[in-house]
Amino acid sequence: MRRLNGKDHAAALYKIEPFEAFAARIARVTALSKIRRADRGSDAAARAREQIGVEKRRARKAQQLWLWQALRRRAHTQDGLRERLAFFWGDHFTARGKVSVMKRATAPYIESAIRPHVAGFFAEMLKAVTAQPVMLHYLDQKASVGPESVAGKKTSKGLNENLARELLELHTLGADGPYRQADVTGLAELLTGLSYSQEGVFGFRPDFAQPGAEQLLGKRYGDSQGGVAALVDIHAALEDLARHPATARHLARKMAVHFISDRPDPALVAAMERRYLESGGHLGEMTRAMLVHPAAWAPEFVNVKQPIDYIGSALRALAVPHEALGAQDWKAIRRVFAVPLRLMGQSWEEPLGPDGWPEGDADWITPQRLAARVDWAMNAPQGLLSDLPDPRAFLGAALGRNVPEALRFAATAAEDRRTGVGLVLASPAFQRM
């Protein structure tokens, strides 16, 4: 926890573009698109179209390179908990772009909206996420217009409830939380006005915002500016949602399932929930409550590692050097990491829906996905290291003292280092955490 509250050394060493910088890519494509539309058929339009293609290819390559940066963070950080928390909360607030260069913006979104808050107050993370163009784009919030707003009276656009529904169902209270359809509608009306420019910059649009107060969970929001919609009212609602007991329960259980077990000890969940509420919704304190609880240190490892955790832990155990792959070798990164991740069932930054990746062990250990793990274990290490470790020594680096005797015998008796190391990485013991 001391490191978690300290400087983020891994992010400084292995840089991923923050969204504020990524927005410059969006702005360039926007400017080029305007030229292409304004001068159709001209040489300028042709050049703009070609340059748009260049920008899209650059963003696609950058997305692959950020995968390697994320894995290098896992391999070399002295603060492994931060890496896992950043991924967990990024998945909790799943968002991905759907068109143009925005399709490549997930890592920058997480870098700006999620990572700075993993040991802070959940309300701050929640507010940062709802001010992120990637999230607003993903859930079509930009198209949501208050029926009685200035824009609503002039256009045929109407209310879009996607963001409001996911905020309640997935991000805060939970699917079984104490809300009704009227609360979804009230929150959706309150959120109107959240938007972003064509250049990828967040902004609040009063002309889109539904005027007057809205009801959410029996409380009125929207009176602070004399009935004129304002961002401060949205923040007040988000802060109340963040501190709600149902949110504490939902987040505590979800974190326990991800980090400890598909069926976590109820006492562990209760301790995490209680500390969250006592601390005013502080994620660092809830994490601490999880780490100090005896149920978190059961001798048996029960959770199957998700593919990104599996590869990340393998790189760390292997002590893969910083320069194993060229920092700009996006083709090698795709071959060694991106394609295997897809075959294991976890394509980089491509979850199927806003609820993120599944947590159940059975979702990850299917015959095809397990075969992909075994194939990676047997082949990837020798391409990443010039000299593979002795399997007998590697057993300790990979599993510490938790080495099954059958695996010790198999690794020791392997005909060569490639096979021995592969057997360790492919073993059931290494697949779990």
* pLDDT per position as a tens digit, 18-64: 999 999 999 999 999 999 988 787 988 889 899 999 999 999 999 99
Residues β-bridged to residue 271: none
Confidence of residue 327 (pLDDT cuts 50, 70, 90): low
Confidence of residue 323 (pLDDT cuts 50, 70, 90): confident
288 pLDDT more than 90: yes
What pLDDT, in 10s, does the model give residues 176-219? Answer: 999 999 999 999 999 999 999 999 999 999 999 999 999 999 99
pLDDT of residue 3: 80
Do 418 and 353 belong to one domain? yes
The residue from 55, 86, 120 where one domain ends is 120
Do 365 and 265 belong to one domain? no
pLDDT: which is higher, 297 or 376: 376
* Token pair belonging to 98: 């759907």
Establish if 53 belongs to a structural domain: yes
Establish if 132 belongs to a structural domain: no
Do 423 and 373 belong to one domain? yes
Confidence of residue 427 (pLDDT cuts 50, 70, 90): very high
Do 314 and 425 belong to one domain? yes
Which residue range forms the structural domain that includes residue 366?
A: 307-431
pLDDT of residue 43: 86
pLDDT of residue 344: 98
Do 116 and 172 belong to one domain? no
Confidence of residue 326 (pLDDT cuts 50, 70, 90): confident
Establish if 128 belongs to a structural domain: no
Establish if 247 belongs to a structural domain: no
Do 272 and 358 belong to one domain? no
What sign has the CA pseudo-torsion 270, 271, 275, 281? negative
Residues 6+ apart with CB under 8 A from 180: none
Domain count, the chain: 4
Is beta strand 214-216 parallel, antiparallel or unpaired with respect to 219-221? Answer: antiparallel
Angstrom distances, CA of residue 19 to CA of 113, 125, 351: 8, 15, 20
Establish if 225 belongs to a structural domain: yes
- Helix/strand/coil (H, E, C) string of 109-154? HHHHHCHHHCCCEHHHHHHHHHCCHHHHHHCCHHHCCCCCCHHHHH
Cα(93)–Cα(106) distance, integer angstroms? 11
pLDDT of residue 433: 82
Do 311 and 426 belong to one domain? yes
- Give the mean pLDDT of the chain: 94
Establish if 248 belongs to a structural domain: no
Do 56 and 165 belong to one domain? no
Is beta strand 194-196 parallel, antiparallel or unpaired with respect to 202-204? Answer: antiparallel
* Token pair belonging to 196: 């972003």
Range in 49-53, 268-272, 388-392, 397-401 with the lowest mean pLDDT: 397-401
What pLDDT, in 10s, does the model give residues 130-158? Answer: 999 999 999 999 999 999 989 889 887 88
* Token pair belonging to 379: 């082949």
Do 326 and 397 belong to one domain? yes
Establish if 364 belongs to a structural domain: yes
Do 362 and 390 belong to one domain? yes
Do 152 and 206 belong to one domain? yes
Confidence of residue 346 (pLDDT cuts 50, 70, 90): very high
Establish if 418 belongs to a structural domain: yes
SS percent in the chain: helix, strand, coil, step 5: 60, 5, 35
Do 83 and 176 belong to one domain? no
